[in-house]
Amino acid sequence: MASQAELLERVSALLGRRDLTQVEFSNWLGGSADGGPNGDGYYPLTDSTGFTRFVQSPAAQVTALAQVNDALELRPRVDAPQNFTPAQQKQVLANIQAANARPVVFDIQTDMDILLNERATAKKLGIRTGSDQTDNLRAAIAKLHTGVIDFSEAGPIILSKEVRIETPIHMIGPGGYFENYGAFKRGTYFQLANNSTLDIGGCMIRVLYKGEQRDSRLAARISGFMFDGNKANNVRGDCLIFHGARYAQADDCLFINAASAGFRALTGGSQGATQSNTRLRNLVALYCRTNGFVLACPDTTAFGLIAGANEASGFNISAVAQLIGYLAWNNGGDGVYIAGDWMRVVGATYDNNRCGVYVNGDRVGVNLDGTHAWRNGLDLNLIGYTTDQKAGVAFIGRPQGCSARNLITGNNTDGADAGHSPQTYGLVVGMDGELPAGAIEAQVDYDMPSSVRDGRIRYIRVTATGSGYTWANVAITGAGSGATATAIITDGKVTGITITNSGSGYAGRIAAPASGTTGSLSELPGTPIVVTITGDGSGAAAHASHGGNVYGPVKDYSKRSGFRVSKLMVGDGTPIKKAYSAGYVRDLVALPAGGSDTFTYNSAALGLGVNATDFVLIVHIAGHAGATVSASLVGENTIVITRRNNSASVLPAGSYAIRVAALRFVE
C-alpha cells in the first residue's frame, strides 16, 4: 500500500501533467501555420500518461486545405479563458472538425494503444533531411520510448555519431531493398556523415534492448532501410549492430560501403544478454571494407542473407544457430568463414577469392549439408593461397562431429577470370603433416560431392600473358571436340580468354606444365585438354578444364582415410597408415644409352618432412622399358626422380605419363 508521501507525489505529478496539457492545448489552438518548435505548424500535445505527440495546428490545417500561401492565424480573444473546461474543449474540436470536413482526434491513449494503432512519423518527431540528424533521431527514440516510427517519407538521414536503441522501438523504412538491391539510394536511407567521429567498434545504429525472457511481443526491430557506411570518407564503423539485443529483428535492409562490417550481432551490451533469439531475414551486405556479416551471438536464426563484393569474407561466423539459404559471391576472402561450433549453415557460394566455405580450427557440430560451392579460389588479389585453401569447402583443422553431405561443387561457370586459379578440390578435410602424440584426427561425415562434368569446357585460365600481340587465335584440343574461344588483348598481352563454344565430350585433366617446372598437378583421369595460343606475338599460354574441380572432388587427410589403407600389409606385417598417389604427364628429353638425368617433384600431399622416416617412394614412368627409375627425398615434400637408361638404344624425347606414390607407415 502506497504511503501518504507517495500518494502526494503521484497527485502532484498528475496535476503537473494536467497543467502542461492545458498550456500545450492553448498554444496548439492559437498556433500559426508556420509555428511550433520546428517551424512547421506542428505543436506538442501530452496525454495523461506523459506520452507526447506533434499535432498540426488548426491554422496549419486551414492553410493546407485552402492551398494559400498567407498563413491564417486563429487566435483566441485576449479576454478568452485560458483554462478550458472539458465542454469548451469538445466544442472547439467540433468546430475545427466541421470547418475542415475531416476528423480530428485528441484522445488519451496508452503506450500499447499507440504501438498497435498509430505510427509516429519521422517528420512529426522532428527528423529532417540534408543535415546531421543524430541528435534529432536520439531525441525521437527517447521521446517515443515504445512504438513504431514510420520513415517511409523522410528522405535521406545523415548520422555523424552512434544512435542507440534501448527500448522496444520498431523503425520502418520504405522497403524493397532485398527484392531489388541494385536500386541503392531510394527513398529513406541512413548515411554516415563525412569524417564522422565514431569510436572504435562503433556503428551507425546499435540495438541494445534486451526483450523480456520468453516474451517477444515487445522487441526492437529494423525494417526496410538502406545503410550507407560512406567508407570513402570514413575510417571505421559498422552499419548496424545488434548487441545483446534479445528477440531483436532485422529484415529487408541493405548495408553498403561500410567502413567496417555491414551487420554485426554480438552478446553482452548494456543490458547483458548472453543469448539473443535474434531473427534476421532478407538482408544484403555489399562493398564493405571488412566482412559483410559478422554473426557472433548464439540462438541467431537467419534466412535469405546475401553478401557480395566485400573486401574480407561475406560471412564471418563464430556463433549462430542457423544460416539458411544464404548467397555469398565475389568476396575478397572466403564466401563463409566459420570459427564456431554447433551450427547449421546451408546456402550457395561462388566466385570468392579463397574458399567457398572455410571451417577453421577444431570445430564441433558444424553442419554444411546441401551446400553449393562453385568456382571459388580465384585469388584475384594475388595473395598466393595454397591449393587446400582454394577448395569449395574446407575443414582446416581437426573438426569433430561435422557433416558435409550432398555438396554440389565444381567450376561450372562459363568464361574466364583474367588469369587466376579456379576451384581446386570440392572438399578438403583435415590438415597435412604428422600429428602430435595423442592428437585426434579430423572426423567429418561426407559422401562424394556432386560435381558438374557434362563434358563441356567451362573454364580457361591464362597462365602466361606473353607480349607483342596485336591479334591472337585460340585452339582447344584433347578428348572432345567443338570448343572455341577468343583472346582478350591488352597492351600487347593476352590478359583473358572468352569461351565462345564450350564443345562436348571433354573429360580430361588440365595439361602438364612445361618441362623443367615443378608442382602438384591434376589428379583427375583422362586425356589432357590443351590450349594453344598463336598470333603475331609470343609467350602466351593457358589451361582449360571442364566443370569439375581441377584437382578432384575430395582431399581427405583424416584418419578415416588412414583406416581404409591400414588394412594393406607389407611383408613383415606392418600396416600402411597413409598412402599418396598422383599421376601426371611430363615432357622429358631424350636419354641416350647408358645415360641418366634427374627432375624434381613437389607436393604437400606427400606429407614427408625433411627428417621423415619409415616410408617408401614409388615412381613409374610409362614407356621406359630397360630403364631404372628411382626417387629420393631431398627436402620437405620434395623428391628428386632419377632415370638411368640401361638399354643399348636411345629413349626418345616426348610426353610421358608418370605415377608417383608415397606409402607412410607412421601416423
Residues 316 and 288 sit within 8 Å (Cβ to Cβ): no
Please tell me the distance from the alpha carbon of residue 151 to that of residue 142, in angstroms, as a whole number. Answer: 16
Please tell me the distance from the alpha carbon of residue 546 to that of residue 502, in angstroms, as a whole number. Answer: 9
Residue 663 confidence class, pLDDT cut points 50, 70, 90: confident
Answer whether residue 488 shows pLDDT above 60. yes
Highest mean pLDDT among 140-144, 285-289, 503-507, 547-551: 285-289
Please give the C-alpha separations between residue 485 and each of 271, 456, 458, 473, 657, in angstroms, as whole numbers. 61, 13, 11, 8, 28
Answer whether residue 266 shows pLDDT above 70. yes
Answer whether residue 155 shows pLDDT above 80. no
CATH class of 566-664: mainly beta
Please tell me the distance from the alpha carbon of residue 416 to that of residue 398, in angstroms, as a whole number. Answer: 35
Residues 138 and 163 sit within 8 Å (Cβ to Cβ): yes
Structure-block grid coordinates of residue 204: 551507425
| Residues facing residue 196 across a β-bridge | none
Q: Which of 602, 611, 613 is nearest to 667 (CA)?
A: 613
63, 66, 67, 72: CA torsion to nearest 10: -30
Give the rounded percent of residues in the chain with a pLDDT score beyond 90. 30
Answer whether residue 473 shows pLDDT above 80. yes
Answer whether residue 160 shows pLDDT above 90. yes
pLDDT at 554: 82
Instruction: Name the least confident of 49-63, 184-198, 385-399, 524-538.
Output: 49-63
3-state secondary structure of 484: strand
Question: Could you read off the pLDDT of 89-116 as tens digits, one per residue?
Answer: 555 555 555 544 444 444 434 444 444 4
Answer whether residue 658 shows pLDDT above 80. yes
3-state secondary structure of 247: coil
pLDDT at 521: 36
Angle in degrees, 0-180, between the axes of helices 58-66 and 86-100, rounded to the nearest 10: 10
Beta strands in 405-558 (DSSP E): 408-410, 425-429, 444-445, 450-451, 457-467, 472-477, 481-490, 493-504, 530-535, 538-546, 552-556
pTM for the predicted model, two decimal places: 0.62
Question: Could you read off the pLDDT of 438-448 as tens digits, one per residue?
Answer: 556 778 888 87
pLDDT at 557: 78
Average confidence (pLDDT) over 151-176: 87
Exposure string of 205-242, with b = 16+ CB inside 10 Å and e = fewer, is bbbbbbbeeeeeebbbbbbbbbbbbbbeebebbbbbbb
Average confidence (pLDDT) over 605-612: 81
Residues 397 and 363 sit within 8 Å (Cβ to Cβ): yes
More confident residue, 315 or 143: 315
What phi-psi label fits residue 134: left (phi over 0), alpha (psi between -120 and 50 degrees) or beta? alpha
> How many angstroms separate the first and last alpha carbons of the chain?
76
pLDDT at 104: 40
Residues 354 and 312 sit within 8 Å (Cβ to Cβ): no
**DSSP 8-state code for residue 529:** B
Residue 66 confidence class, pLDDT cut points 50, 70, 90: very low
Please tell me the distance from the alpha carbon of residue 220 to that of residue 201, in angstroms, as a whole number. Answer: 21
Instruction: Name the least confident of 181-185, 357-361, 534-538, 613-617.
Output: 181-185
Structure-block grid coordinates of residue 189: 536511407
Residue 153 confidence class, pLDDT cut points 50, 70, 90: confident
Highest mean pLDDT among 360-374, 499-513, 539-553: 360-374
Instruction: Classify domain 143-451 by CATH architecture.
Output: 3 Solenoid (2.160)
pLDDT at 16: 60
Average confidence (pLDDT) over 274-284: 83
Answer whether residue 71 shows pLDDT above 60. no
More confident residue, 112 or 468: 468
Please tell me the distance from the alpha carbon of residue 88 to that of residue 98, in angstroms, as a whole number. Answer: 15
pLDDT at 118: 56
Please tell me the distance from the alpha carbon of residue 264 to that of residue 260, in angstroms, as a whole number. Answer: 10
Cβ-based neighbours of 213, under 8 Å, separated by 6 or more: 246
Q: What are the φ and ψ backbone dihedral angles of 561, each rounded to 5 degrees?
A: -65, -40
| Residues facing residue 290 across a β-bridge | none
Scanning 551-642, the segments in alpha helix (DSSP H) are: 559-565
Question: Could you read off the pLDDT of 219-247 as tens digits, one per residue?
Answer: 889 998 999 999 999 999 999 999 988 88
Question: Could you read off the pLDDT of 324-351 as tens digits, one per residue?
Answer: 999 999 999 999 999 999 999 999 998 8
Please give the C-alpha separations between residue 307 and each of 189, 256, 304, 330, in angstroms, as whole numbers. 19, 10, 10, 9
Answer whether residue 284 shows pLDDT above 80. yes
Q: Which of 624, 656, 420 is nearest to 528 (CA)?
A: 656
What is the CB-side half-sphere exposure of residue 456 using CA atoms within 13 A?
15
Structure-block grid coordinates of residue 145: 520510448
What phi-psi label fits residue 381: left (phi over 0), alpha (psi between -120 and 50 degrees) or beta? alpha
Q: Which of 65, 49, 53 is nearest to 28 (CA)?
A: 53
Identify the burial level of 655 via C-beta atoms within 10 angstroms of its C-beta, where 0-12 means exposed, 13-18 middle and 19 or more buried: middle
Average confidence (pLDDT) over 605-622: 85
Structure-block grid coordinates of residue 528: 589432357
Exposure string of 636-646, with b = 16+ CB inside 10 Å and e = fewer, is ebebebebbbe
pLDDT at 7: 58
More confident residue, 577 or 460: 460
pLDDT at 209: 81
Please tell me the distance from the alpha carbon of residue 144 to that of residue 141, in angstroms, as a whole number. Answer: 5
Please tell me the distance from the alpha carbon of residue 253 to that of residue 280, in angstroms, as a whole number. Answer: 10
- Cell 582431399 -> residue: 555
Structure-block grid coordinates of residue 28: 496548439
Answer whether residue 667 shows pLDDT above 70. no
Give the amino acid at 430.
G
3-state secondary structure of 14: helix
pLDDT at 380: 81
Please tell me the distance from the alpha carbon of residue 294 to that of residue 337, in angstroms, as a whole number. Answer: 10
Average per-residue pLDDT for the chain: 78
pLDDT at 597: 94
- Cell 554480438 -> residue: 266
Question: Could you read off the pLDDT of 539-586 as tens digits, one per residue?
Answer: 998 877 666 777 677 888 775 544 445 445 555 656 677 777 777 788
Q: What is the residue extent of each domain of the chain? A: 4-107, 143-451, 457-546, 566-664
Residues 411 and 352 sit within 8 Å (Cβ to Cβ): no
